[in-house]
Copies of this chain bind each other. A is one copy, B any other.
């Protein structure tokens, strides 16, 4: 079968490209979805399209909701959700996506360094795989795609 995989979370390293390359090299029947990973565009989109706000709260609010139109659709369409946690920033949206994915019955794969095991234990506990590298995700996809 074909799989739709939504790649959620950290946006400051090239892990999505590595997965994309791995999937392409192995010629896997996998469609990869991503949020808008241009940080500035993603932060500005609300006021850009819908008009300026004085309070940062409402600026963020309008941006987050437009981004949610995309991410909610991707979460709903996805068969598998991969969420990567980096070592910087709060990344609460990554954990929030993971929570939605689990409640929607999607198969969750988490990616993070071993140092983050303790704070991520609740997320890991409901994942189908806890990985450390994009290569491991590609290997899992290759394994589940075999005839």
A binding-site residues for B, Cβ under 8 Å:
1, 3, 31, 33, 36, 41, 45, 48-50, 54, 56-58, 60-70, 72-74, 76-77, 79-80, 85, 89-105, 107, 109, 114, 116-131, 136, 139-140, 143-144, 146
Which residues of the other chain, B, contact A100 by a CB distance below 8 angstroms? 99-100, 102-103
Chain A, interface SS category: helix
State the CA gap A75–B83 with chains docked (Å): 22
- Chain B, Cβ-Cβ closest to A105: B76
Task: Report the copy number of this chain in the oligomer.
Answer: 8
Bound-state CA distance A126–B90 (Å) is: 18
CB-defined contacts of A95 to chain B, threshold 8 Å: 92-96, 99
User: Which B residue sits closest to A112, measured CB to CB?
Assistant: B92
Assuming the contacts A92-B95, A96-B95, asked whether A68 and B136 have C-beta atoms less than 8 A apart, the reply is no
